[in-house]
Amino acid sequence: MIFQPVLHPLLLALLFAPMFGLAVWLIVRGPSTSSGSSQSKTTARVLWALRLLLLIACFAMLLRPGIPGGATQTLATDTDVVLVVDTTASIVAEDWADGQPRLDGVRADVQEIVEEYPGARFALITSDAAAELRMPLTTDTTALIGSLEVLRPEVTSQSRGSSIGIAAPLLAETLESAAESSPDRSRMVFYFGDGEQTVDTPPEPFTASAEYTDAGGVFGYGTTEGGPMRITGGGIGEDEGYIEYQGADALSVIDEQNLGTIAEQLGVEYQHRTADAEPALPDAPSTTTSYAESGEVGNVTELYWIAALVIVALLGVELFRAALLIARLRQLRAPRNPVVASPVVERVSSRSARSMTGAAAPVVERGAKRRDETPATTSTGARDVSSRSARSTTGDGGGS
């Protein structure tokens, strides 16, 4: 077993040692409260044992254990590939595929070339009003594809015409330098453009590069009907319309004769590129395609995923326990009787009842007294009248 640690092992030990010590101390010592039962102490020790196991799994995963073994054979292309891309305004003429810019076709073909020649070194040269080495020879194909993704044509307002052969001197210089530094490597050249010559002078020849070119190709983009060209500004994403000529959209038309001349000068094949066909790429020179020197490259079977599974399982236990604790806390905070009359309301209701009862009692009592007094008064009056009548009768009798 071998280890490929993410950090230096000493640094990992310094990071994990305090946490290991704390976990072991809590397992041995147990809970600090003396009121806990033996069952709660055992549960706490088990939880800290699981956390210690979690720390061990994290430490093991960061060490990246693996088992050496197995062998593969890799095919490397011992070749230098130089890409020359026309970046004049016509490279964005919209006659590729369904009205897409020609530059999209260039990007797609470069991707095919990168995949066809694994292990090769690539260089990128662009040509418009001047030639520029955008990327020297490198095996970093990601950087190459990234450079093409952000590649933009020259600013339309600054264009004064260009020659399709302006990159010839720079190409010859790049190939010569590569041949001197690595004479055992072969060299391939791919030219991408539409062949439009927009200056009065004849194009510069590529014959000086022929002696350093072992294979390659010239790819032509465009149609005989032509395609409109968008105005290219200094910013990204700006839409300023199309280039016009005499009140109508200017059209860029492919010149296959010029492209065929470049192919003859370089000693490579020319092909007209369309979106519905794959590029015909030549084989890399046979003397430069071989297996790696060792014949095999050792592989390592990674084992860190086992520790990762343990970590996921232990974290699941912790999350489950946390969910249970939260549920218990919610139950403790919830009221036991969902409907309970408020004491304040009860006191107010009681006082109101007593107040109403006390106010009604005197009224009833006074009414009763009045009803009792009325018959008594009537009876007394009747007795007085009867008494008077009796005395009057007696007086009358005595007088007679």
Q: In DSSP terms, which residues pair with 61 in a beta bridge?
A: none
Q: Mean pLDDT across the stretch 319-324? A: 92
The pLDDT, as a whole number, for residue 336 is 63
The pLDDT, as a whole number, for residue 281 is 96
pTM: 0.57
Report residue 74's pLDDT band, with 50, 70 and 90 as the boundaries: low
For residue 385, give the amino acid letter.
Answer: V
Q: In sequence order, what are the residues at sequence separation of 6 or more whose Cβ sits closer than 8 angstroms to the Cβ of residue 326?
A: none
Query: Which fold, 75-291?
Result: Rossmann fold (3.40.50)
Write out the DSSP string of 53-75.
HHHHHHHHHHH-EEEEEEEE--E
The pLDDT, as a whole number, for residue 300 is 75
Residue spans per domain, the chain: 2-72+299-311, 75-291
The pLDDT, as a whole number, for residue 16 is 93
Report residue 295's pLDDT band, with 50, 70 and 90 as the boundaries: very low
The pLDDT, as a whole number, for residue 217 is 98
Check whether 146 has a pLDDT greater than 90: yes
Report residue 172's pLDDT band, with 50, 70 and 90 as the boundaries: very high
The Cα–Cα gap between 227 and 241 comes to 14
Instruction: Count other Cβ atoms within 10 Å, centred on residue 76.
Output: 16
Residue identified by tokens 């897409």 is: 100
The Cα–Cα gap between 70 and 5 comes to 21
Q: In sequence order, what are the residues at sequence separation of 6 or more whose Cβ sits closer than 8 angstroms to the Cβ of residue 254?
A: 194, 195, 196, 220, 221, 222, 223, 224, 272
Rounded to a whole number of angstroms, the CA Rg of the chain reads 52
Give percent helix, percent strand, percent coil of the chain, each to the nearest 5.
50, 20, 30
pLDDT tens per residue across span 28-58: 887 665 555 677 778 888 889 999 999 999 9
The Cα–Cα gap between 314 and 141 comes to 42
Check whether 92 has a pLDDT greater than 50: yes
